Amino acid sequence: MMQVGVGLRSKHYEDALQTASVDFVEVHTENFFADGGVSHAQLDRISEQYKLSFHGTSLGLGSFTPPPMAHIQKMRWLIDHYSPFLISDHACFSWSNDGESIVHAGDLLPIRFDKETLNVMCRNIRRVQDIFGHQILIENISSYLPLSGSVIPEAEFFNLLCQSTGCAMLLDVHNIQVNAVNQQSPSPLEAALYFISELDSGFVGEIHLAGIAAPSAEMWIDDHSGPVSDDCWTAYSAAIKRFGKVPTLIEWDSKLPEWSDLISEAKLAEEYANKVCAHA
């Protein structure tokens, strides 16, 4: 059965409680690191009506400095308490050493796709999965400049990562297009379709879809501020054809629409997936 969800932001909490129109909602785990308080009371109510997906933004699993145990344990407590059906983070680096201190960059910084980074990520992912007691999904990130030193194609890197650790991929279709535009690809859609075709069909556990309000030919800023584009829907259809009806989420983080409009985007994803599978 097709499962569709939306990223839940504070503006929509009350609407979400009144109208349970999707299968699951995604929340950013770091927003619930505090002990108790209003945020947990709200999440308790939300969890009574929806499946939860926990999406981390700070593990930095591509960091040569591994994420601190205290940070991982906060996430472990949330997982144990709320039992999310999906747990994810990003293929990026965030942590580094500053003398004797471990510091966080406060962002999702791009990684080199090479053997050294692959080994580091595999080690970090195995450690986190062992502590969580769950498989995690790793998302491909957007970037704005090509990073020198990459020698493994990105899709192959993810295939190797999943094969080695037992993790799965959170495929962000929009991010592939953002990167293709920013790297001046002559056809961002073709770049996305090629990326999808190169991924192992058994390694994708979730798909993210998003859009931007004002795309340009020179650079896209991945601000999740608009509806999913026609090209992104085309690439999504190709992804469903290749990977099947994996859980799909609409991300919309700025210039937030009404709850009903967000739900309509999620329902559109369901329609696209059902149409593809009906003709498979």
Report how far residue 99's alpha carbon sits from residue 265's, in angstroms, rounded to the nearest whole number.
Answer: 47
Domain ranges of the chain: 4-278
The pLDDT of residue 132: 97
Closest listed residue to residue 203, CA positions, set 175, 235, 247, 166? 166
Please give the biggest Cα pair distance in the chain: 58
User: For residue range 92-115, what is the model confidence (pLDDT) as tens digits?
Assistant: 999 888 777 788 877 888 999 999
Let me know the angle formed at the C-alpha of 114 by 154 and 209, rounded to the nearest 5 degrees. 25
Residue 255: alpha-carbon gap to chain centroid: 20
The pLDDT of residue 28: 96
Q: What is the mean pLDDT of residues 39-53?
A: 94
Helix 115-132 to helix 154-165 angle (10° resolution) is 40
The pLDDT of residue 148: 81
Portion of the chain with pLDDT greater than 90, in percent: 78
pLDDT interval class at 117 (50, 70, 90): very high
Let me know the angle formed at the C-alpha of 108 by 220 and 104, rounded to the nearest 5 degrees. 150
pLDDT interval class at 217 (50, 70, 90): low
Report how far residue 113's alpha carbon sits from residue 119's, in angstroms, rounded to the nearest whole number.
Answer: 11
Closest listed residue to residue 172, CA positions, set 32, 7, 2? 7
Phi, psi of 272 (to 5 degrees): -60, -45
Q: Is the pLDDT at 16 greater than 70, yes or no?
A: yes
Is 191 in contact with 185 (CB distance < 8 Å)? Answer: yes
Q: What is the mean pLDDT of residues 233-247?
A: 97
Q: Is the pLDDT at 220 greater than 80, yes or no?
A: no
The pLDDT of residue 24: 97
Report how far residue 252's alpha carbon sits from residue 261's, in angstroms, rounded to the nearest whole number.
Answer: 11
User: For residue range 131-159, what is the model confidence (pLDDT) as tens digits?
Assistant: 999 999 999 999 887 778 899 999 999 99
Report how far residue 279's alpha carbon sits from residue 120's, in angstroms, rounded to the nearest whole number.
Answer: 41
- For domain 4-278, say whether CATH 3.30.43.10 is its number: no
User: For residue range 196-205, what is the model confidence (pLDDT) as tens digits?
Assistant: 999 999 999 9
Q: Is 222 exposed, middle or buried (0-12, 13-18, 19+ CB in 10 A)?
A: buried
Q: What is the mean pLDDT of residues 178-190?
A: 91
